[in-house]
Amino acid sequence: MDIIESKTWIEWAITIAKFAFCFVPVLYILLLIPMERRGAGFMQDRQGPNRSYIKIPYFGKIRLLGYVQNMCDGTKLFFKEMFAPAGVNKLLYYVAPAIPFAIVFLSPCVIPWFGPMIFDWGGETVRIAGSIIDSDVGVLLLFGFSSISAYGAMLAGWASKSKYSFLGALRTSSMTISYEVCLGLSLMGILLLAGSFNLTDIVQWQEHHVWGIVAQPVAFFCFLIASIAETGRAPFDVAEGEPELVAGYHTEYGAMQFGLFYMGEYSHICINSFLIATLFLGGYAVPFVTTETMQEHMGGSLAILCGVLAFIALAFLHMIYRYSRKLKATNLTHRFEVLKEYKLYKIVAWVATAAFIALGVAAWFFYNPENFVVNGLAVGSFATAVGTALIHLLVLVAKSLIFCWVWIWVRWTLPRFRYDHVMHLGWKIILNIALINLVVTAVIAKLLGGN
């Protein structure tokens, strides 16, 4: 009870609100699927998902840049009949798809979405961590959650009582174990430099020293390759190789059972993207600006944020105007409907641009809060703490999206590796490079006076 009474209501409110971050991977699925389809269309020089549409009264047809196609696919999976083939272990067969999807809600608890919020509330100094679970062994927790998701694939392959599914499950388990070792070893260098397993401590070390990708470039590439392999996507999709195993461990699954595996894969990409951004790209830290400096000039910081958002809206406008010019030059019969849709996007983008510019100007001229120091900590107002958290969150999301695109780029660029090539790369190349990198890092850190 002392713990409950020691917290103010605002601490409880923010702590409970942080649980909304558990749904970030699910929201990323809605973003990643159309992103992958349009990216694949761009790389293969073909049309992306742009045929499905919904009809709005008094307006006409609207395709939402391909999102309607994904809504149709999701609806189809949701209403499709779920069945179990004869001879399967029904309990494990039905439980297996839920395991990787359940991990989707656990992994985000450890990631620091923003820096610690420190603010004055009614004369008291309040401090709230940026992650839901601010654990000193956060990295180990994250790896533990990630490992559990492999049980879903293994159980699915075994419970299906199919040789194709079983072989896919064996390949998945062996590849997961192999690359989990590489993943852990390549990570040890940055842990050694930061001196902590706490992800917030690692981000703060990068903020005040140098980003992990600069201090540990070799470890970054080893970690990135191992992460791509762990998600089981091309070129490491030997567990689902269609020419040999039909669809691997989920051959016997359909409808939403397959949908759960599908969403688990995309969520895995999301979590790994956030993890790489946190470990090697400074996490929520703004490039070249410390959190203390940003809070001292919060009005200017918010103005710059609004300026960046306005620039993105203008870039979107440029894309729509370019598409409109190309479409007008064609003889497509439905071009007038599409141009009408583009007109709607232009209005929305112009309104957003004007709003961001107005907000930026207002923040620059009228918002200049004062901070003060209590027991060595910079303490500001509640609004400053919320503004800082918002900037940190957007910076982390922007960094993670870069790596999400890397996943898509790699999948649609490289051919599938053979199974023995996957094992060779993991055990004989990446593992040895990660080991050598760890020894070299330890020696250099010791020579420079570290512990």
396-433 confidence digits (pLDDT tens): 999 999 999 998 899 888 888 888 888 898 889 999 99
Mean pLDDT score of the chain: 85
pLDDT value, residue 21: 87
Find the radius of gyration of the CA atoms of the chain. Answer: 24
Total residues belonging to the chain: 451
Specify the DSSP class assigned to residue 245.
Answer: H
- Cα separation, 288 vs 122, in Å, equals 33
Is the pLDDT assigned to residue 314 strictly greater than 90? yes
> In terms of pLDDT, which residue wins out, 377 or 355?
355
pLDDT digits (tens, 9 = 90+) for 77-86: 888 888 788 8
- Return the closest-CA partner of residue 98 out of 166, 156, 46: 156
pLDDT at 298: 85
Q: Dihedral, CA atoms, 371, 374, 377, 380, nearest 10 degrees?
A: -30
- Is residue 42 within 8 Å of 48, Cβ to Cβ? yes
Buried b vs exposed e over 175-210: b needs ≥16 C-beta within 10 Å? bbebbbbbbbbbbbbbbbbbebbbbbbbbbbbbeee
- Residue 2: which pLDDT band, with cuts at 50, 70 and 90? very low
* 348 contacts 62 by C-beta, under 8 angstroms: no
Q: Which residue in the block uniquely carries the two structure tokens 């103005």? A: 303
Confidence check: pLDDT of 202 > 50: yes
* % pLDDT > 90, the chain: 20
Q: Tell me if 327 sits within 8 A of 263, measured CB to CB.
A: no
pLDDT over 70 at 374, yes or no: no
Task: Compute the CA torsion angle 441, 445, 447, 451 (nearest 10 deg).
Answer: -130
Both tokens of 197, joined, read 């397993």
Confidence of residue 3 (pLDDT cuts 50, 70, 90): very low
The answer to whether 425 and 235 have CB atoms below 8 angstroms apart is no
Model confidence at 62: pLDDT above 80: yes
- Under 8 Å between Cβ of 172 and 152: no
How large is the angle between the packed helices 199-208 and 138-159, nearest 10 degrees?
130
Task: Determine the Cα–Cα distance for residues 45 and 52; give it in Å rounded to an integer.
Answer: 20
Amino acid (one-letter) located at 271: I
Quote the CA–CA distance of 199 and 139 in Å, as a whole number. 7
Q: Which of 310, 319, 306, 304 is nearest to 350 (CA)?
A: 310
> Is the pLDDT score of 297 beyond 90?
no
Tell which residue, 405, 212, 214, 395, has the closest CA to residue 309.
Answer: 395
pLDDT digit string (tens) for 203-251?
A: 999 988 889 999 999 999 999 999 888 887 878 887 777 767 677 788 8
Model confidence pLDDT, tens digit, residues 329-363: 888 777 888 888 889 899 999 999 999 999 999 98
Q: Do 232 and 148 meet the contact criterion of CB atoms below 8 Å apart?
A: no
Work out whether strand 117-121 and strand 124-128 pair parallel, antiparallel, or are unpaired: antiparallel
The 3-state secondary structure of 97-157, one letter per residue: CHHHHHHHHHHHHCCCCCCCEEEEECCEEEEECCCCCCCCCHHHHHHHHHHHHHHHHHHHH
Nearest to 271 by CA among 144, 450, 127, 171: 144
Q: What is the pLDDT of residue 6?
A: 62
